[in-house]
Amino acid sequence: MEITADIYTITSKFPKNEVYSLASQMNRAVVSIPSNIAEGSNRDNNHFKHFLNISLGSSFELQTQLLIALQNKYLTEERAIEIENKIIEFQKMTYGFITKLD
């Protein structure tokens, strides 16, 4: 949820021409992360792992989009690194959780 707030904050400052492209893509990807965890949380372990993997996929998608935003100078390198570190931490924790469900 913290990553979601971070992304919504930075995309709100993107140029107007990005509202329906990169900003929209990033917002959809970041919302997908906690949404898939929530959706899978009341299912059996095999289905839950499936939703966790979808969430992981969205985090990798977001990581790439963050780099594109940095490349276009829509945020500072410091802020991009800060958010990317949160994404990487999420990925490690989620992967660890998936392996525990096996």
For residue 23, count other CB atoms closer than 10 A to its CB.
23
80-92 pLDDT, tens digit per residue, is 999 999 999 999 9
This prediction's pTM: 0.93
Domain 2-101: CATH superfamily, name plus number: 23S rRNA-intervening sequence (1.20.1440.60)
Task: Tell me how far apart the alpha carbons of residues 35 and 32 are, in angstroms, rounded to a whole number.
Answer: 5
26-75 pLDDT, tens digit per residue, is 999 999 999 999 999 999 989 999 999 999 999 999 999 999 999 999 99
Contact present, 95 and 56 (Cβ < 8 Å): yes
Tokens for 51? 């939703």
pLDDT at 48: 96
Contact present, 14 and 69 (Cβ < 8 Å): yes
Domain edges within the chain: 2-101
Task: Tell me how far apart the alpha carbons of residues 99 and 102 are, in angstroms, rounded to a whole number.
Answer: 5
Confidence of residue 102 (pLDDT cuts 50, 70, 90): confident
